[in-house]
């Protein structure tokens, strides 16, 4: 199977390598061409532009760093649009907002091409190990055709329906995660203030029905007030806000998510926005002996 791949950042490079290792013929392109070299060593071909990649390959994957880059490779000169045509498929695995996704989808379709948005859950390590979770939405036929590639890139892929649903699914998951992080923080502070060892709480949680990787990973550093940013609090709060906006559209009342969102805003208001989202823990702490 011959595929194109646009974007060789940390994620894209790891993903292209996995495709090569599993026997795919891969034609790569990256804005800075030097990043293509290592892939060539592993057997990749290169092309001089997104348009050239699409001209050569039936299926082209993209993994760009942000919405601006995602739009640029499609709409700019020598971009995807110039060569996309009947029967060709374009699969954008970047994490972008619904509007960006829709614009790309409409442009591709208007030229007769097929489109999938396919944002992933998982970062560098799962990308290298082919253990991503892929949230695809758009053209079902295209999804079925590229399953062999998704099987190499991820441990699991989902087809979620129309374009936009991939982004929505990420919002819903992140919203639940944000509320859980608040509940967890409240629990840690309550434990400590009422004379329990927070470390014991972590151990008890780990053995029960609500044990989960996030509590296990973040708990110990939260106890030490260590909030090195893995997922910045301001981004978590933005996702809470977008999930609440989605809920507003559909008249879904979400009082717990709303309370969690306000707590994240409080954290932003005291300058914690660039720390890890677990830093919301700080705002629940009791600063003075209560009167």
Query: Closest approach of Cβ 95 to its own copies, in Å?
Result: 14
* H helices present in 76-212, as ranges: 98-110, 124-128, 140-153, 165-193, 198-206
**Dihedral sign, Cα of residue 61, residue 64, residue 66, residue 71:** negative
- The answer to whether the CB of 174 falls within 8 A of the CB of 127 is no
Please, what is the Cα angle at 157 between 153 and 160, to 5 degrees? 140
Q: Long-range contact list for 248-252, CB < 8 A, 24+ apart? A: none
Query: Nearer to its own copies by C-beta: 32 or 207?
Result: 207
- Site residues (CB under 8 A) for its own copies, limited to 209-238: 209-214, 217, 234
Looking only at the bridges linking them, the beta strands covering 114-117 and 120-121 are unpaired
Task: Find where tokens 């110990």 sit.
Answer: 220
* Selected binder of its own copies within 182, 220, 226, 239 (CB under 8 A): 182
Residue 91: CB atoms within 10 Å:
27
What's the CA gap between 114 and 116, in Å, rounded? 7
Nearer to its own copies, 9 or 229 (CB): 229
Stretch that binds its own copies, among 9-17, 27-35, 79-87, 208-216 (CB under 8 A): 208-216
Residue 236's nearest CA partner among 191, 201, 281 is 281
Size of the site for its own copies (CB under 8 A): 83
What x/- string results for residues 50 through 89 when contact with its own copies is judged by CB under 8 A? ----------------------------------------
Is 248 a residue that touches its own copies (CB under 8 A)? yes
- Measured from the CB atom, the residue of 26 and 243 that comes closer to its own copies is 243
Instruction: Specify the residue, 49 or 165, whose C-beta has the smaller distance to its own copies.
Output: 165
Shortest Å, Cβ 28 to its own copies: 28
Listed residue (25, 1, 103, 19) closest to 63, CA to CA: 19
Tell me which stretch binds its own copies (CB under 8 A): 2-10, 51-59, 105-113, 245-253. 245-253
Q: How far is the CB of 184 from its own copies (least distance, A)?
A: 6
**Residues with catalytic function:** 170
Maximum Cα–Cα distance across the chain: 73
Segment near its own copies (CB under 8 A), from 3-11, 34-42, 82-90, 199-207?
199-207
Sites for its own copies among residues 256-275 (CB under 8 A) = 256-263, 265-266, 268-271, 273-274
**Interacting positions 111-170 with its own copies (CB under 8 A):** 121, 133, 135, 155-156, 158, 160-162, 165, 168-169
CB 121 within 8 A of CB 169: no
Nearer to its own copies, 71 or 183 (CB): 183
Q: How far is the CB of 283 from its own copies (least distance, A)?
A: 8
The dihedrals phi and psi of 28, each to the nearest 5 degrees, come to -110, 155
């Amino acid at each position: 199977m011959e595929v194109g791949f646009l974007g060789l950042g940390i994620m894209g490079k790891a993903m292209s390598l996995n495709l090569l290792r599993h026997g795919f013929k891969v034609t790569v392109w990256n804005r800075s061409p030097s990043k293509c070299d290592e892939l060539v060593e592993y057997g990749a071909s290169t092309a001089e532009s997104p348009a050239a990649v699409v001209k050569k390959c039936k299926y082209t994957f993209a993994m760009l760093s942000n919405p601006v880059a995602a739009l640029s490779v499609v709409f700019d000169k020598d971009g995807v649009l110039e060569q996309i045509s009947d029967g060709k498929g374009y699969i954008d695995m970047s994490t972008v907002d619904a509007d960006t996704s829709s614009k790309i989808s409409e442009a591709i379709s208007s030229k007769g091409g097929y489109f999938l948005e396919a944002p992933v859950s998982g970062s560098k390590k799962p990308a290298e190990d082919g253990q991503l979770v892929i949230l695809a939405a758009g053209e079902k036929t295209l999804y079925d055709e590229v399953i062999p590639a998704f099987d190499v890139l991820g441990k699991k892929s989902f087809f979620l329906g129309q374009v936009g649903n991939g982004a929505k699914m990420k919002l819903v998951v992140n919203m639940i995660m944000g509320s859980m992080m608040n509940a967890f923080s409240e629990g840690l502070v309550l434990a400590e203030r009422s004379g329990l060892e927070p470390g014991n709480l972590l151990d008890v949680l780990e053995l029960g029905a609500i044990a989960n990787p996030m509590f296990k990973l973040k708990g110990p550093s939260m106890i030490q007030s260590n909030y090195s940013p893995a997922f910045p609090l301001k981004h978590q709060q933005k996702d809470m806000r977008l999930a609440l906006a989605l809920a507003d559209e559909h008249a879904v009342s979400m009082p717990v998510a709303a309370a969690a969102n306000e707590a994240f805003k409080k954290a932003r208001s005291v300058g914690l926005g660039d720390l890890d989202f677990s830093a919301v823990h700080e705002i629940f702490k009791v600063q003075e002996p209560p009167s």
